[in-house]
A and B are shown apart, each in its own frame.
Chain A
Amino acid sequence: MSEPTAREAVLGRIRDAHRLAPPPDLPYEAIARDYRRERSGTTEELVELLVDRLVDYKARVRRSTPAELAGTIAAALADQGVRTVAVPPGVEPGWFEQTDVEVRRDRPDEGAGLTVDELDGLDGVVTACALAVAETGTIVLDASPDQGRRLLTLVPDYHLCVVRADQVVPDVPQALALLDPVRPTTMISGPSATSDIELNRVEGVHGPRTLEVVVVS
């Protein structure tokens, strides 16, 4: 008889373990899920909670109307001193109508993707998001065209993310229900931080050290 492969061996060991110590019978459908899954709130309540939680985790927040968005973005970039930004392919050009920063669009489909070194030389990145979670102050990116490849929001030191009020969901269960698991997904809650020194949270390590969120309603 040939030697079993590692795969056969490990699966065989699990079956042996189950025979030596039969596991309890608990079908998936019987798992108790008595936690809250349908929290709700008005859009304004959710936006207020999101803003509160974002600020608590040291993200900067600006509120805007759709009509004022280009102006709000221009003001944010100017206040941060940003001169060059990376932008994913699907972001509307109108967002940059009122600013004179250099907009570098990432177009990997056309063989014109920004390289890591190019991104490292840019001051910031501006994206939309897939959704935002009010209770945890989280914005979620799923690499859709208006959010782009994951490295765009990672290498530049400043990330400006535009969240529409209708993209804000109350909690984590409702966020996951809307997401597509196979898309590369990044959940972001505040700027890069660490708790590694004396277990105190300090902002600013390897990811963008400044996260700015514009909530549009």
Chain B
Amino acid sequence: MSAVMLGMPTLPPPAPRGVGHLRGDESFPDAARHSLADTQLRANLGHATRTIRAKRASVVAELPDWEELREAGRQLKVHTMAHLPDYLEQLEAAVTARGGIVHWARDAAEANRIVTELVQAKGVDEVVKVKSMATQEIGLNEALEAAGISAWETDLAELIVQLGHDKPSHILVPAIHRNRSEIRQIFLDEMGDVDPDLTDEPSVLAGAARLHLRRKFLSAEVAISGANYAIAETGTIGVVESEGNGRMCLTLPQTLITVMGIEKLVPRYTDLEVFLQLLPRSSTGERMNPYTSMWTGITPDDGPQEFHLVLLDNGRTQVLADEEGRDALNCIRCSACLNVCPVYERAGGHAYGSVYPGPIGAILSPLLTGVEDNASLPFASSLCGACYDACPVKINIPEILVHLRARHTEEYAEEHTVPSVEAVAMSTLSFVMRDPRRWRLALRSGRLGRILGRRRGAIGEIPLPVVKQWTETRDLARPPQQTFRDWWAATHDGDRS
């Protein structure tokens, strides 16, 4: 094809507004204010993240080649993203050859429509679901409900969220913000068929979930799942889980619909040797999760006899077009970055607004929606770098956060004729710092701050715009009487070099 026929490349569109769960109702600082005031939430999160950090550290320490595995994981992902069209077409051909049906969805609305029509064609009004980030992202349950179809979440934590009319707050454990006694109360209030003497022992609560969902599993005709990976070479799809609810959904119903982001590809079957070592250790801190299911199209007499694979874009191609941000697509959804993040541990997942919380969410959500639709998220970080160290595919999250902050500053300036207060401050500072004389004067004038701090020896809240937001939670040290430059001049005989 000639360059003329190709034309100029267009920036692919972001995930559309009005459907799915990638945008919050409030900015991160506003939402975090509510969660920071909730001491129970903070205690629950602190306990859970401390537990998982210790477990992860111990199983990671068992592997002397952990760093080599991480590097292989990173390179596999980088390679795959660079050859995405080829691998997607290869996957489609392999799945089709084994009796599966492949659908493509430009965005959340199209994916929801495809799945709803597939379920309606089966003439059922309920489906069982395996926990899946992709279907949460597109708001599939709400779309099904609008069509009169009940979606039963079968993962224990998803069930707790669904029964509690709540929102997920973690990628791996969506009910991480709930402790055992809260879960017991939700079960007592909402399950209907539960033993009134239910205790808050985790094993008893797990048993209650088993009873509650058993008939659903054994009689369901249609199941909906996500995918942890899809192998281009063979058309094999894999789901990694713990409880067996995944196996139930992937094995018992006659029809299986899998919704998968286009970035979940792995070139070859042998490449799983990297991800099956990285993922369980990073997510639940186990050497291996209890169950991993893999299937390729349809197997006569074994499992679903009708298999649909929905390949979802929903903003992913726009992420791919951002050279400095595209590594966010390499994420394998392990949630290790959430568990090590000091901001996540205190603010909790709901503060991020999107189904993708924590450090990965702070980059992935704005990349998928366009930065201005999630403009506060790139700032929801202290850039400490713990997430980068924990990431099994070495996504440099702090670097992408900084990149997105810059994108926000630029895009804000493009959209607004009146510059932001921050932009004014920065250009003033730039003007001052460009000239040594101006800089010297500015430093000297800093001594005025001595007046503000004279009572406590520190500067407290200053009731001025922007300055107030900074100073209301931070004390500034009272400036010294002499600037460094003046001290240098005084002690080095007037030598200003």
* A interface residues (Cβ-Cβ under 8 A, vs B): 5-7, 9-11, 13-21, 23-28, 31-37, 53, 57, 108-109, 113, 116-117, 120, 133, 135-138, 143, 149-151, 154-155, 172-173, 176-177, 179, 181-208
Contact = CB atoms under 8 A, between A and B. Distances in A.
Which 3 residue pairs spanning A and B have beta carbons closest together? A207-B244, A23-B82, A206-B244
B75 A20 contact: no
Contact of A6 (B49, B65, B76, B105): B105
A192 B244 contact: yes
A154 B248 contact: yes
B288 A116 contact: no
B372 to A, nearest CB: 19
Where chain A touches its partner, the secondary structure class is loop
Interface in B48-67: 48-49, 51-52, 55, 64-65
Contacts of A7: 104
Contacts of A208: 244
Given A14-B84, A181-B269, A204 B76 contact: no
A183 B110 CA distance: 32
B228 to A, nearest CB: 12
A120 B252 CA distance: 12
Given A18-B82, A206-B154, A197 B183 contact: yes
Contact of A206 (B75, B203, B210, B297): B210
Nearest to B243: A205
A32 B288 contact: no
Contacts of B218: 116-117, 120, 155
A188 B290 contact: yes
Interface in B122-173: 154-157, 160, 172-173
B420 interface: no
A10 B270 contact: no
B188 interface: no
A5 B104 contact: yes
B313 A10 contact: yes
Nearest to B276: A172
22 contacts: A15-B9, A15-B85, A23-B78, A26-B78, A33-B68, A33-B72, A33-B274, A34-B72, A57-B290, A155-B218, A181-B294, A182-B234, A182-B236, A193-B243, A196-B156, A198-B47, A198-B51, A198-B179, A198-B180, A199-B52, A201-B284, A206-B245
Contacts of A201: 284, 286
B63 to A, nearest CB: 8
A12 B18 CA distance: 24
Contacts of A15: 9, 85
A150 B302 contact: yes
A6 B312 CA distance: 10
Contact of B322 (A21, A25, A196): A21
A171 to B, nearest CB: 8
A6 B104 contact: yes
Contacts of A185: 292-295
Given A34-B65, A197-B156, A198-B179, 12 more contacts: A6-B103, A10-B105, A20-B11, A23-B326, A24-B78, A32-B68, A53-B287, A173-B273, A192-B291, A194-B243, A200-B51, A202-B202
A16 B12 contact: yes
A184 B302 contact: yes
A192 to B, nearest CB: 4
B255 interface: no
Nearest to A190: B290
A204 B154 CA distance: 14
A26 B77 CA distance: 10
Contact of B79 (A19, A27, A109, A173): A27
Contacts of B173: 195-196, 199
Contacts of B269: 176, 179, 181
A108 B263 CA distance: 37
A186 B292 contact: yes
A193 B242 contact: yes
A197 B176 CA distance: 7
B368 interface: no
Contacts of B231: 181
B98 interface: yes
A109 B175 CA distance: 43
A35 B69 contact: yes
A136 B321 contact: no
A154 B290 CA distance: 12
B112 to A, nearest CB: 13
B206 A204 contact: yes
A176 B213 contact: no
A108 B296 CA distance: 20
B10 A16 contact: yes
A138 B290 CA distance: 8
A125 to B, nearest CB: 13
Contacts of A150: 247, 250-251, 293, 302-303
Nearest to B180: A197
Interface string B185-222: 00000000000000000110111011001100110000
A96 B242 CA distance: 31
Given A172-B273, A177-B270, A10 B242 contact: no
Contact of A207 (B291, B313, B323): B291
Nearest to A133: B288
Contacts of A17: 9, 12, 317-318, 320-321, 326
A150 B291 CA distance: 12
Contacts of A10: 88, 104-106, 262, 311, 313, 317
A144 to B, nearest CB: 11
B369 interface: no
A108 B157 CA distance: 35
A31 B79 contact: yes
Nearest to A179: B269
B258 interface: no
Nearest to B47: A198
A39 B129 CA distance: 38
Contacts of B288: 133, 136-138, 172, 187, 189
B31 interface: no
Contact of B155 (A24, A172, A193, A196): A196
Contact of A189 (B273, B274, B290): B290
B317 A16 contact: yes
Given A15-B85, A26-B79, A150-B302, A116 B252 contact: yes
